[in-house]
Amino acid sequence: MGKRKQPLDLLQGTLDLLILRTLQKEPQHGWAIAERIEEISEHVLEINQGSLYPALHRLEHEGWIKAEWSTSELGRRARFYHLTASGRKQLDLESHQWDRMTAAIGRILRMA
């Protein structure tokens, strides 16, 4: 992968948002979440497993997502996470905040 650009470090707190957003459509297991984020971001964002799993457990601890064991597409048992009602609310809240912040930062970058 030598010549590819160095992936970006995630901003503090954005991983939670990305996970919640990834889970919005359907339940996923940890591996798929990481793959999906990397894919959609065209490998700009690379998820570090050292922070993905603690983040998943943190979100579960907060009650925003829930985990269940079920069979993966390859017939192997995996832990699938899905959004809870309060998780959806949290996602709305955080994406709204994210929009406001990026808009603000963008304005400053353009105008200042």
> Which residues of the chain form contacts with other proteins (CB under 8 A)?
29-31, 34, 48-51, 53-58, 60-61, 63, 69, 72, 74, 76-79
> Which amino acid is it at 38?
E
Q: How far is the CB of 100 from other proteins (least distance, A)?
A: 27
Nearer to other proteins among residue 43 and residue 100 (C-beta)? 43
φ, ψ of residue 51 to 5 degrees: the values are -110, -20
Q: Are 45 and 6 in contact (CB under 8 A)?
A: no
Nearer to other proteins among residue 14 and residue 102 (C-beta)? 14
Nearer to other proteins among residue 31 and residue 101 (C-beta)? 31
For helices 49-62 and 14-22, the axis angle rounded to 10 degrees is: 70
- Provide the 8-state DSSP code for 44: S
Q: How far is the CB of 50 from other proteins (least distance, A)?
A: 5
Q: How far is the CB of 62 from other proteins (least distance, A)?
A: 8
Q: How far is the CB of 78 from other proteins (least distance, A)?
A: 5
Nearer to other proteins among residue 7 and residue 95 (C-beta)? 7
Q: How many whole angstroms separate alpha carbon 62 and alpha carbon 66?
A: 10
Instruction: Report the DSSP beta bridge partners of residue 65.
Output: 83
